[in-house]
């Protein structure tokens, strides 16, 4: 596997102005004919050869240049792509390439593949090269026309990007559609869908009065589950107009739900593809958390239409340009629709639980990485969540209006272009005249800065002196609230920490105030603070704080503390559970107050379950049986799981019997069993792998099974190494099916340095075994080799 470096970026010697694609979809193989208008990129000296990326699975059938077959001596194809070495015309010219591919054998779920009975595609980051030979890089932007032909009975719905410009029936029961996308785009935003799908429709009138047709496609039996996603889409469209003045730019917007999907969703121009679990939801099948995620991701993919699609990335090292900015936008969207405070607490908790450890581990990278082997490995919490925090710094420094002016200038300058993070910062700085040079460090360096704050009050002089030191020094916007104890906030200021040590003096502060720094968590830093948290921190947060941690010991200590706390607070917990329970027959509502009540009640029930006893068990069983929404049903099941024994098994069996026809609901059932801390559960998980509900070619299933298993301190971290062994076996097994999923699974070994010497040795032994296994993918290779000492 080859490592690529950001510093090696060179503009493409050729560009492509138009792309005509023709897909002949068939059961055994698919013929792809592509006609490209090739344009020399004159910024560069005249090139002699043209290299097009293409995966080994692509079989070349023919090449024509300006309408004439190209002689075999002029070109060569290998596992990386196709080189046209000679016979290239000067000026602009047409290149026609025919390739044959086998989507039905494609289990990597990159490029064109099958999910259930449908054809669908995933091209970001480098999937388009699995379809045909192409300049597969985001700075090559072209206008696309796509013609799709397939059997009409099997695939009545044929979709691609842009507007439907033609359709018709053909001989032999076949039919076709032609789609034209008027906007230039990189090939990673191309999409195709063919299937027997049902559709739910709605419309949205934009701020300039244009009606947009909104369509959500699913399997016929799931049409009743898309109402919430549709409502979220309409809210996102309205919010982007009101907040950023950004209007939708085509007459239709399609979403398709796909069961087998490597990640959450994909923002293909006007044809977003979604993992089914992020589209389908009804109160009885989805939890409050699921609803929240659906709203956020529907918003996220829609917002990409401007931040990502209209303005895209010059190269993949700039990924945070579109992802950090779009995560910031979806966070703000959810904050405006629900409780801003709760949303911020959730987002920061996620950052601390997932991104801080990543940034402190062997795979730490800057939000704009310097080198990459497989780009798919860099869709990380750092690029996404820390990237969003860096965007939040611009907002803190420039204020809302300054931030908006910067974004306006960014679009005015770069619409239709492929740009860098530096272009974004330049637009932000130029629109406001602010000096943002200090932000450079956040793009260049990995790691979480540590900030220490000291406060001194001089009663005589009436001054308050705030001193902050940071390591390593990096610009940090911190809103410092200066408050008097128990009183409303007196003053608020943004302190710019640009040097290693800085001091601010506030005048006219007669009484000693209580300072509140890092308000709203205004920078992604660790604050050396003496505060004590009320809730027990997650094990993932505890482990890095305890050098050489024994995860089992920590787990038992944490459990004992949780039990003691529950015992001491029993009456309060019982009251919280009782007072926050819905009256029978109350309708489910996804609304901030109702969600908060359910969360409190279910947290109380979870704590009471630690105490066990007949009364608690019977109450939980009754709640489990009577639950009218998945939030309460799943919470009761989790609490019964904690009680263990016969009731646990009965509840799991009842849950399976009730939901065996809803694969998305069964993901929760799988994850709960896989994460169990019952001693010896590894064997049960191996057995679960044989269950009819477990399909290892489905990424969601793998995540629910294996990533959940790795969260079990008792079984993943079993002292005899059996958990690590099971995980390594599973990685190697899944890598034969899907590289991206396998690479995500390996990530659970990254934290080996946090544990005691024995576990560290067992974990690195598992990593070495994977590294030396035959035929591992570049994806897995990159993670295991970086994780090893």
Strand 68-69 to 59-65 pairing: antiparallel
Instruction: Please report, for residues 283, 396, 522, 590, 650, the alpha-carbon distance to residue 286 in angstroms, rounded to integers and kept in the order given.
Output: 6, 35, 32, 11, 22
Fill in the per-residue mask, 468 to 507: x = in contact with ligand B3K (CB under 6 A), - = not in contact. ----------------------------------------
Task: Tell me if 189 contacts ligand B3K by CB under 6 A.
Answer: no
- Reported as type and span, the H/E element at residue 22 is strand 14-25
**Residue 735 binding: pick among Zn ion, ligand B3K, none (C-beta 5-8 Å cut-off by kind):** none
**Residue 126 binding: pick among ligand B3K, Zn ion, none (C-beta 5-8 Å cut-off by kind):** none
Contact between residue 82 and residue 49 where contact means Cβ atoms under 8 Å apart: no
Cα radius of gyration rounded to whole Å, the chain: 28
**Residue 703 binding: pick among ligand B3K, Zn ion, none (C-beta 5-8 Å cut-off by kind):** none
Fill in the per-residue mask, 568 to 607: x = in contact with Zn ion (CB under 5 A), - = not in contact. ----------------------------------------
Contact set for ligand B3K, span 257-286 (CB under 6 A) = 263, 265-267
For the question of residue 44 being annotated catalytic, the response is: no
Return the number of the residue (263 or 289) whose C-beta is nearest ligand B3K.
263
Return the number of the residue (326 or 382) whose C-beta is nearest Zn ion.
326
Q: Select the residue interacting with ligand B3K from 155, 274, 379, 669 (CB under 6 A).
A: 379
Active-site residue identified among 124, 149, 295, 301: 301
| Cα-based angle 92, 97, 99 (whole degrees, multiple of 5) | 160
Q: What is the 3-state secondary structure (H, E, C) of 162-212?
A: CEEEEEEECHHHEEEEEEEEEEEECHHHCCEEEECCEEEEEEEECCCCCEE
Residues 6+ apart with CB under 8 A from 322: 304, 307, 308, 311, 312, 313
Residues 6+ apart with CB under 8 A from 221: none
Separation of alpha carbons 638 and 606, rounded Å: 8
**Residue 125 binding: pick among Zn ion, ligand B3K, none (C-beta 5-8 Å cut-off by kind):** ligand B3K
Separation of alpha carbons 443 and 317, rounded Å: 11
Separation of alpha carbons 156 and 168, rounded Å: 11
Task: Tell me if 124 contacts ligand B3K by CB under 6 A.
Answer: yes
The structure tokens listed for 372 are: 């990459």
Of 663, 664, 683, the C-alpha closest to 673 is: 683
Return the number of the residue (52 or 265) whose C-beta is nearest ligand B3K.
265
Count of positions on this chain that bind Zn ion (CB under 5 A): 2
Contact between residue 608 and residue 643 where contact means Cβ atoms under 8 Å apart: no
Contact set for ligand B3K, span 294-313 (CB under 6 A) = 300-301, 304
**Residue 629 binding: pick among Zn ion, ligand B3K, none (C-beta 5-8 Å cut-off by kind):** none
Query: What's the closest the beta carbon of residue 330 comes to ligand B3K, in angstroms?
Result: 9
Longest CA–CA span in the chain (Å) reads 94
Return the number of the residue (183 or 755) whose C-beta is nearest ligand B3K.
183
Contact set for ligand B3K, span 316-345 (CB under 6 A) = 323
Fill in the per-residue mask, 300 to 329: x = in contact with Zn ion (CB under 5 A), - = not in contact. -----------------------x--x---
**Residue 263 binding: pick among Zn ion, ligand B3K, none (C-beta 5-8 Å cut-off by kind):** ligand B3K
Contact set for ligand B3K, span 126-155 (CB under 6 A) = none
Q: Select the residue interacting with ligand B3K from 136, 259, 290, 376 (CB under 6 A).
A: 376
How many residues are recorded in the chain? 789
Return the number of the residue (141 or 429) whose C-beta is nearest ligand B3K.
141
**Residue 765 binding: pick among Zn ion, ligand B3K, none (C-beta 5-8 Å cut-off by kind):** none
Query: What's the closest the beta carbon of residue 299 comes to Zn ion, in angstroms?
Result: 11
Return the number of the residue (301 or 756) whose C-beta is nearest ligand B3K.
301
Return the number of the residue (144 or 379) whose C-beta is nearest ligand B3K.
379
**Phi/psi at 626 (5° precision):** -90, -5
Fill in the per-residue mask, 324 to 343: x = in contact with Zn ion (CB under 5 A), - = not in contact. --x-----------------
Would you give the DSSP letter of residue 43?
T
Query: What's the closest the beta carbon of residue 318 comes to ligand B3K, in angstroms?
Result: 13
Task: Tell me if 744 contacts ligand B3K by CB under 6 A.
Answer: no
Query: What's the closest the beta carbon of residue 762 comes to Zn ion, in angstroms?
Result: 36
Contact between residue 625 and residue 639 where contact means Cβ atoms under 8 Å apart: no
**Residue 329 binding: pick among ligand B3K, Zn ion, none (C-beta 5-8 Å cut-off by kind):** none
Query: What's the closest the beta carbon of residue 327 comes to ligand B3K, in angstroms?
Result: 8
Separation of alpha carbons 183 and 185, rounded Å: 6
Return the number of the residue (114 or 269) whose C-beta is nearest Zn ion.
269
Query: What's the closest the beta carbon of residue 300 comes to ligand B3K, in angstroms?
Result: 5
CA dihedral sign, ordered 277, 283, 287, 289: positive
Separation of alpha carbons 415 and 427, rounded Å: 13
- Reported as type and span, the H/E element at residue 40 is strand 30-40
Return the number of the residue (125 or 674) whose C-beta is nearest Zn ion.
125
The structure tokens listed for 76 are: 């060569």
| Cα-based angle 214, 220, 225 (whole degrees, multiple of 5) | 60
Separation of alpha carbons 23 and 196, rounded Å: 17
Return the number of the residue (328 or 724) whose C-beta is nearest Zn ion.
328
For the annotated catalytic residues, the residue numbers are 301
Where along the sequence are the contacts to Zn ion (CB under 5 A)? Answer: 323, 326
Where along the sequence are the contacts to ligand B3K (CB under 6 A)? Answer: 124-125, 263, 265-267, 300-301, 304, 323, 376, 379
């Amino acid at each position: 596997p080859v490592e690529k470096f950001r510093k090696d970026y060179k503009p493409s010697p050729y560009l492509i102005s138009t792309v005509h694609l023709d897909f002949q979809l068939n059961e055994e193989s698919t013929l792809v004919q592509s006609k490209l208008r090739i344009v020399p990129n004159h910024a560069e000296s005249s090139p002699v050869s043209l290299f097009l990326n293409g995966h080994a699975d692509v079989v070349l059938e023919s090449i024509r240049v300006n309408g004439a077959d190209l002689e075999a001596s002029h070109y060569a194809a290998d596992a990386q792509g196709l080189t046209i070495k000679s016979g290239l015309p000067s000026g602009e010219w047409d290149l026609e390439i025919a390739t044959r591919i086998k989507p039905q054998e494609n289990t990597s779920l990159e490029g064109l593949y099958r999910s259930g009975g449908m054809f669908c595609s995933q091209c970001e980051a480098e999937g388009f090269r699995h379809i045909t030979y192409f300049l597969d890089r985001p700075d090559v932007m072209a206008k696309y026309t796509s013609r799709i032909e397939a059997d009409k009975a099997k695939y009545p719905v044929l979709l691609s990007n842009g507007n439907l410009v033609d359709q018709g029936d053909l001989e032999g029961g076949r039919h076709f559609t032609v789609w034209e996308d008027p906007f230039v785009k990189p090939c990673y935003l191309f999409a195709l869908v063919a299937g027997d799908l049902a559709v739910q429709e709605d419309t949205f009138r934009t701020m300039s009065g244009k009606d947009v047709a909104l369509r959500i496609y699913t399997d016929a039996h799931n049409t009743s589950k898309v109402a919430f996603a549709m409502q979220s889409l309409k809210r996102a469209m309205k919010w982007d107009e009101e907040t950023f003045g950004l209007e939708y730019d085509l007459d239709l917007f399609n979403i398709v739900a796909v069961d087998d999907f490597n990640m959450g969703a994909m923002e293909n121009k006007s044809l977003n593809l979604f993992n089914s679990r992020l589209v389908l939801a009804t109160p009885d099948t989805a939890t409050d958390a699921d609803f929240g995620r659906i709203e956020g991701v529907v918003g996220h993919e829609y917002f990409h239409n401007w931040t990502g699609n209209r303005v895209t990335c010059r190269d993949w090292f700039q990924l945070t340009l579109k992802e950090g900015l779009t995560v910031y936008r979806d966070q703000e969207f959810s904050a405006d629709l629900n409780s801003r405070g709760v949303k911020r607490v959730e987002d920061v908790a996620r950052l601390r639980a997932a991104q801080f450890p990543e940034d402190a581990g062997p795979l730490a990278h800057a939000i704009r990485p310097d080198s990459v082997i497989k780009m798919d490995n860099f869709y990380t919490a750092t690029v996404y969540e820390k990237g969003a925090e860096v965007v939040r710094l611009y907002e803190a420094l420039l204020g809302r209006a300054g931030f908006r002016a910067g974004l306006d200038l960014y679009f005015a300058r770069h619409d239709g272009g492929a740009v860098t993070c530096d272009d974004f910062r330049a637009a932000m700085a130029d629109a406001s005249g602010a000096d943002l040079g200090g932000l450079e460090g956040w793009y260049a360096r990995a790691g979480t800065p540590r900030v220490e704050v000291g406060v001194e009050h001089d009663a005589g002089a009436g001054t308050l002196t705030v001193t902050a030191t940071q390591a390593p020094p990096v610009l940090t916007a911190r809103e410092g609230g200066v408050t008097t104890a128990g009183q409303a906030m007196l003053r608020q200021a943004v302190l710019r920490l640009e040097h290693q040590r800085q001091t601010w003096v506030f005048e006219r502060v007669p009484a000693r105030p209580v300072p509140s720094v890092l308000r709203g968590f205004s920078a992604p830093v660790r604050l050396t603070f003496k505060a004590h948290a009320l809730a027990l921190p997650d094990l993932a947060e505890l482990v890095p704080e305890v050098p050489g941690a024994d995860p089992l010991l920590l787990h038992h200590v944490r459990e004992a503390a949780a039990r003691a706390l529950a015992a001491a607070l029993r009456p309060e917990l019982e009251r919280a559970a009782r007072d926050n329970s819905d009256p029978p027959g109350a309708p489910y509502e996804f609304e901030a107050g109702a969600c908060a009540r359910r969360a409190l009640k279910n947290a109380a029930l979870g704590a009471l379950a630690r105490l066990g006893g007949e009364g608690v068990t019977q109450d939980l069983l009754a709640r489990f049986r009577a639950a009218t929404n998945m939030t309460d049903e799943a919470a009761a099941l989790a609490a019964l799981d904690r009680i263990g024994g016969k009731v646990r098994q009965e509840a799991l069996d009842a849950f399976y019997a009730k939901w065996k026809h809803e694969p998305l609901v069964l993901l929760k059932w799988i994850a709960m069993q896989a994460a169990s801390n019952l001693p010896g559960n590894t064997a049960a998980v191996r057995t679960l792998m044989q269950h009819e509900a477990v399909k290892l070619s489905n990424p969601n299933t793998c995540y629910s099974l294996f990533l959940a298993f790795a969260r079990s301190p008792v079984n993943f971290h079993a002292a005899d190494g059996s958990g690590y062994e099971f995980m390594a076996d599973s990685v190697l097994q899944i890598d034969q099916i899907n590289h991206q999923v396998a690479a995500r699974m390996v990530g659970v070994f990254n934290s080996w340095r946090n544990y005691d010497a024995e576990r560290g040795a067992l974990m690195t032994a598992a990593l070495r075994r994977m590294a030396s296994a035959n035929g591992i993918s570049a994806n897995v290779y990159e993670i295991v080799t970086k994780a090893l000492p």
